[in-house]
Amino acid sequence: MNQSKQIIFKVLFIMVLLLSALSVACPGAEIPTHKFMVSAGANLFRSSSAYYRQIYGQSAFMPEIKISCLVYHNFSVWGGFGLISKQGLIEEVDETAKINQTFLSFGVGVAHKLSAQLRLHGELGLAYISFKEEAFGGTLKGSGLGWKIGVNLDYFIGKKMFLTLATAYSQTSDEAQTGKIELGGAQIGAGVGIVF
């Protein structure tokens, strides 16, 4: 297992421990039976492209909004929207670069109630990632359609509000004159949401 995967697993483990401690210290509310769920979260995104990481660093901040709707028992449909804007440096030529990425995703999910306050939510769907990169006085644009898989752990702190820990992985790419561009990667984060 390489170092980056070890770091991701360590962060996930720490986040689960923190959520477990929170559930013991601050008893929450029982999970309500509402149809819609909206959450906003802050994620760290780690690109699957080594070239991307070399220019823009090992991780990037990615805010994300997600909407989910129960359609049958514990099954739901969901959609997500995330953004990344980051500056980097091409060290070989000492040239600055800037990238803007948009993440659109949608799919199906299934929820499993772990306790009166805790819920585990698995998701599988499609991911559409577009980018605009500025470097060497020019602009490179592209996009790709691929897949995304994710797991969320929700802790209800009130009848309509919950905290969530999330991890996901997306895989997609685009073809350019320089070759294949990997656009997907891993993300891990936390957020807050409401149900109605």
Q: Which one is predicted more confidently, 79 or 112?
A: 79
Domain ranges of the chain: 3-195
Judged against a pLDDT cut of 80, whether residue 134 lies above it is answered with yes
Nearest to 64 by CA among 103, 37, 35, 101: 103
What is the DSSP pairing of strand 179-182 with strand 185-195? unpaired
CA 189 to chain centre: 7
Judged against a pLDDT cut of 70, whether residue 29 lies above it is answered with no
Q: Which one is predicted more confidently, 167 or 17?
A: 167
Q: Are the beta carbons of 76 and 107 closer than 8 angstroms?
A: no
What is the DSSP pairing of strand 138-156 with strand 75-90? unpaired
8-12, 44-48, 77-81, 131-135: segment of lowest average pLDDT = 8-12
Q: Where are the beta strands (DSSP E) in 114-178?
A: 118-135, 138-156, 161-171, 173-176
Please give the model's pTM, rounded to 2 decimal places: 0.82
Question: How many C-beta atoms lie closer than 10 Å to residue 77's C-beta?
Answer: 16
CATH topology of domain 3-195: Porin (2.40.160)
**How far is the CA of 120 from the CAs of 116, 143, 150, 165, 167, in angstroms?**
12, 31, 11, 10, 12
CA 103 to chain centre: 9
